Structure 1
Amino acid sequence: MKEITASMAGTVLNIFAQAGDQVNSGQEVLMLESMKMEIPIECGIEGVVQKVNVSIGDFVNEGDVLIVLA
C-alpha cells in the first residue's frame, strides 16, 4: 500500500484528490497551511486514491498519513 504523508505539521486547507482519482507523480493532491504559509503536498508516486484520511480544517502532524493509494 502506498501512502502520502504530511511533510510538516499544519492545517488542511484544501484537498484536490478524492477516492477513485488517478494521480501522477508530481501532482498536487493537498494544501496545508503552516505558520501562515501555504504548503503544497505533491504525490511522489502514481496510483489510484483509495482513501483520503483527512478533511479540510483538520490539524495534522509531520508524518501523518494523508492519502492512501492503491
Structure 2
Amino acid sequence: MAQVKASMAGNVWKLLVKKGDTVEVGQEVAILESMKMEIPITAEVAAVVKEVKTSEGEFINEGDVIFELE
C-alpha cells in the first residue's frame, strides 16, 4: 500500500481524485494552499485510491497522509 503525503503544511484547497479513481505516476491528485501559493501534490506510483484521509478546506501538516493507495 502506498500513501500520498503533504509536502508542506497548508490548507487542502482542492482534491482532484476520489475513492476508487485510478491515478498515474506524476498525476496531480490534490492542491494545497500555503502562503497564498498553490502547491500541486502528485502521485508517486500508479494505483487506485483506497481512502481519502482529508477534506477540502482542512489544514494539514507536512507529512500528513492525504490519500491511501493500493
* Equivalent position of 2:56 in the other structure: 56
Amino acid at match of 1:29: V
Segments of structure 1 that go 5 or more residues without pairing to the other structure are none
**1:64 shift after superposition:** 0.3
TM-score by length of 2: 0.98
2: CA distance, partners of 1:67 / 1:33: 17
**1:41 shift after superposition:** 0.2
Amino acid at match of 1:4: V
* Equivalent position of 1:67 in the other structure: 67
2: CA distance, partners of 1:66 / 1:56: 11
1: CA distance, partners of 2:57 / 2:21: 21
* Equivalent position of 1:22 in the other structure: 22
**1:27 shift after superposition:** 0.2
1: CA distance, partners of 2:63 / 2:3: 10
Segments of structure 2 that go 5 or more residues without pairing to the other structure are none
TM-score by length of 1: 0.98
2: CA distance, partners of 1:37 / 1:44: 22
Spell out structure 1 runs of 4+ moving beyond 4 A: none
Aligned pairs, number: 70
